[in-house]
Amino acid sequence: MPVVELSYSRLQKLVGKVTKKQISDSLPFLGLDIESEDKDLVRIEYSPNRPDYSTDFGIALGLQGLLGIKTGAIKLNVKKSNKYSISIKFDVPKIRPFVTGIIAKNGKIDDKTIKQLMTMQEDLHFGIGRKRKKSSIGIHDLDEISFPLVYKTTNRNHKFIPLNSEKEISISEILKNTDVGKDYGAILGNSSKVPLILDANQQTVSFPPIINAAITTVTTKTKNLFVEVTGINKEDAEDMLSVVATVLQSAGFALESVKISGAKNSTPKLGEKKVPVSPELINQILGLNLNTSKIISALKKSRLDASTKGKDIICIVPSYRFDIFGPMDLVEEVALGYGIQNLEPTLSPSQTLGQTNPVSLQLKSLSQIMIGVGYLEALNSSLTSKRVLYDMTNRDTDKIISVLDSKSQEHTILRDSIFPGLLENLSRNIHEPYPQKLFETGTVFTLKNPISEKINFSGISAHQDANFTEIKSALQSALKTGFDIKIETKTATHPSFEEGHCASVIVDNNSIGMIGKVNSKIIENYKIRVPVVGFEISLSESILKSL
């Protein structure tokens, strides 16, 4: 979950008459988790579906609603203007065919505001922008740009001075040598033509989705902003724009429209949508009995507007709330406005009878029996390593199932056997008193259509007098008592066991596993100083009974 850092005093100013405690008590009920606090600073985790909560401006709007200071939907006041336009004429960037934008004037920009806008931009890029692939934003100093603008493509040898640089460099160099170029250049693929926004003086404004031009850098002296969003579809680009527009309006800017034209592009409407919801659904899902006026007041606390139309409630959803897909999302908005803390849990009688899965029951019984035989239950990861599974035990590695890009070297391969893990356990306990007897039941994996999952059962015994007879007795008794199954052992060889002390375990003429004295080389490799005997059998085929 993304995290945003805020200051309580700034939030108090933005929200209105409110104490610090009221804020910290209310944040969780907006779905915002306080991750840490340090005096005035607070770090807040927010949900990726609410990018408006990536700034204190957006969070303040939510708090105002929940605390009843200001309720109802936030209306965007966009002044229609003919001064600003972007056109796409002949040369549509195929990689990023859509552009949209807005003007924000007469705002006060201090360091903190710049920081908030930057985190919002980053979050939008990462979340709904899918790492800038779907859509990306550029925020510029309006007064450095001459309109009208064109959105077009250019060659990779086009040069301009990019953000945070002092000299002109080419697009190929930007992609090769700058961090953003390296991180996001792949979005442009191999195409020789890349997107570009140029102003009326042929000056580069932005090279989407990579970097802005240095000349339009926003500083604390900036008063007026131009925001552009480019993307692979119109709706997503406009969704992103609506979040920025809403946040900038709350930050005190006056919005003006930018005319967009050409090649399936058009001026963004940023309009609200109407979503009908029945009070019946709301009450049924929440288990409440609210009348329509209560429901409407709850929706308003969630910064939406609503009115009745016949039996239904028609909810007005501002454009930045694109997380609302349909009526069920409004049910949640009612719950939040009503207050989750006001929902009293109910315990309805069950209409069904519960049942433990027979496989779980049998495994539990087997555990109890093994404890009777004197074995302690161990638990190992099923995602383990080549070292434990194969190298230490001399086993064949022909059909390994590995995972991609594991962050831990000890966890890269799915186990096809439990026994190697138990051996590893012994090696980590050589200083503990003997005898040491362990068992484990669990899932093992093999490549088959595409993966076959079976339940195996393994036991191990280590002490001065450990021998084949002892381990065979243990397995024989466990299976006899647990499942009334009789086993036989037939001489066999296995790389993990000593020759002459190794057998396959036979049930009804089928081999279901191995038993024996562990190879002395393996014991030596593991620095275990006592003999070790053990077994591993498959329970899935002939032992466990399913429903």
Partner 1 sequence: MSQVFHDIEKKIIASLKDNSKQTPETLEESTKLSPDQIRRGIEWLKLKDLAIVDESKKSVYSLGKNGIESLQKGLPERRLLDLLKDGPRNLSDLQKELGAVFGPAMGLSKKNNWIEAPSGQISLKNPPSEIPGEKILSQIGSGKVSERNIDKNDLLVLLKRPDFIIEDVIKTKEISLTDSAKSINLSESSGAIDVEAKVPEVFVARTHPLKDTIDEIREIFVTLGFSEIIGNITQSSFWNFDALFTPQDHPARELQDTFYLDGVMAKKIATPEQIRKVSASHKKNWRYYWDINEARKMVLRTHTTCVTIKHLAENKPDEARVFSLGRVFRNEKVSYKHLIEFNQIEGVVVGKNATLRDLMGIQREFYKRIGITKIKFWPTFFPYTEPSLQTMVYNERLGKWVELFGMGIFRPEVTKPLGITKPVLAWGGGIERIAMLKYDLDDVREFYNNNLSWLRSATKCQ
Determine which residue in the list 96, 303, 437, 494 makes contact with partner 1, applying CB under 8 A: 437
252 makes contact with partner 1 (CB under 8 A): no
Q: Nearest Cα to 521, choosing from 397, 394, 417?
A: 394
Cis bond before residue 148 (omega within 30° of 0): yes
Nearer to partner 1, 331 or 466 (CB): 331
Nearer to partner 1, 60 or 150 (CB): 60
Determine which residue in the list 161, 180, 316, 373 makes contact with partner 1, applying CB under 8 A: 373
Rounded-to-integer distance, Cα 416 and Cα 401, Å? 9
329 makes contact with partner 1 (CB under 8 A): yes
Nearer to partner 1, 310 or 433 (CB): 433
485 burial (CB, 10 Å; 0-12 / 13-18 / 19+) is middle
48 makes contact with partner 1 (CB under 8 A): yes
Angle in degrees, 0-180, between the axes of helices 56-66 and 234-250, rounded to the nearest 10: 70
- List the beta strands (DSSP E) in 18-130: 33-38, 41-45, 78-79, 85-87, 98-105
Nearer to partner 1, 38 or 111 (CB): 38
| Site map (CB under 8 A) of partner 1, residues 50-89, x = contact | x---------------------------------------
Rounded-to-integer distance, Cα 310 and Cα 316, Å? 16
Kindly give, in sequence order, each residue whose CB lies less than 8 Å from that of residue 354, ignoring residues fewer than 6 positions away.
Answer: none
Rounded-to-integer distance, Cα 323 and Cα 178, Å? 34
State which of positions 93-132 bind partner 1 (CB under 8 A): 126-127, 130
CB 134 within 8 A of CB 231: yes
Shortest reach from residue 188's CB to partner 1, in Å: 17
186 makes contact with partner 1 (CB under 8 A): no
Determine which residue in the list 221, 264, 407, 545 makes contact with partner 1, applying CB under 8 A: 407
CB 113 within 8 A of CB 251: yes
Hey, what are 489's tokens? 């052992």
Determine which residue in the list 96, 125, 132, 134 makes contact with partner 1, applying CB under 8 A: 134
CB < 8 Å & 24+ apart, contacts of 258-261:
258/81, 258/84, 258/85, 258/86, 258/100, 258/101, 258/102, 258/103, 258/226, 259/82, 259/84, 259/85, 259/86, 260/85, 260/86, 260/87, 260/88, 260/99, 260/100, 260/101, 261/85, 261/86, 261/87, 261/88
Nearer to partner 1, 146 or 473 (CB): 473
495 makes contact with partner 1 (CB under 8 A): no
Stretch that binds partner 1, among 13-21, 293-301, 335-343, 478-486 (CB under 8 A): 335-343
State which of positions 23-42 bind partner 1 (CB under 8 A): 28-31, 33
CB 440 within 8 A of CB 377: yes
Determine which residue in the list 38, 111, 179, 344 makes contact with partner 1, applying CB under 8 A: 344
Rounded-to-integer distance, Cα 444 and Cα 268, Å? 55
| Site map (CB under 8 A) of partner 1, residues 259-298, x = contact | -------------------------xxxxx----------
- Cβ atoms within 10 Å, residue 136: 25
Determine which residue in the list 190, 202, 291, 356 makes contact with partner 1, applying CB under 8 A: 356
Q: Nearest Cα to 151, choosing from 100, 203, 85, 197?
A: 197
Determine which residue in the list 377, 391, 499, 541 makes contact with partner 1, applying CB under 8 A: 377
Determine which residue in the list 201, 355, 464, 469 makes contact with partner 1, applying CB under 8 A: 355
Nearer to partner 1, 84 or 320 (CB): 320
Stretch that binds partner 1, among 67-75, 251-259, 320-328, 512-520 (CB under 8 A): 320-328
Determine which residue in the list 26, 297, 382, 481 makes contact with partner 1, applying CB under 8 A: 382
Nearer to partner 1, 41 or 376 (CB): 376
Rounded-to-integer distance, Cα 304 and Cα 62, Å? 10
367 makes contact with partner 1 (CB under 8 A): yes
Rounded-to-integer distance, Cα 536 and Cα 534, Å? 7
Element (H, E) at 427: helix 419-427
State which of positions 196-235 bind partner 1 (CB under 8 A): 233, 235
Shortest reach from residue 39's CB to partner 1, in Å: 18
State which of positions 442-461 bind partner 1 (CB under 8 A): 443, 445, 447, 449-451, 453
CB 4 within 8 A of CB 309: no
Rounded-to-integer distance, Cα 56 and Cα 11, Å? 6
Shortest reach from residue 372's CB to partner 1, in Å: 8
Determine which residue in the list 351, 464, 469, 509 makes contact with partner 1, applying CB under 8 A: 351
541 makes contact with partner 1 (CB under 8 A): no
Nearer to partner 1, 130 or 395 (CB): 130
Nearer to partner 1, 178 or 302 (CB): 302
383 makes contact with partner 1 (CB under 8 A): yes
Rounded-to-integer distance, Cα 336 and Cα 301, Å? 8
340 makes contact with partner 1 (CB under 8 A): yes
Shortest reach from residue 437's CB to partner 1, in Å: 7
State which of positions 387-406 bind partner 1 (CB under 8 A): 401-406
DSSP 275-311: EEE-HHHHHHHHT----HHHHHHHHHHTT-EEEEETT
Hey, what are 16's tokens? 């209105």
Determine which residue in the list 370, 418, 466, 505 makes contact with partner 1, applying CB under 8 A: 370
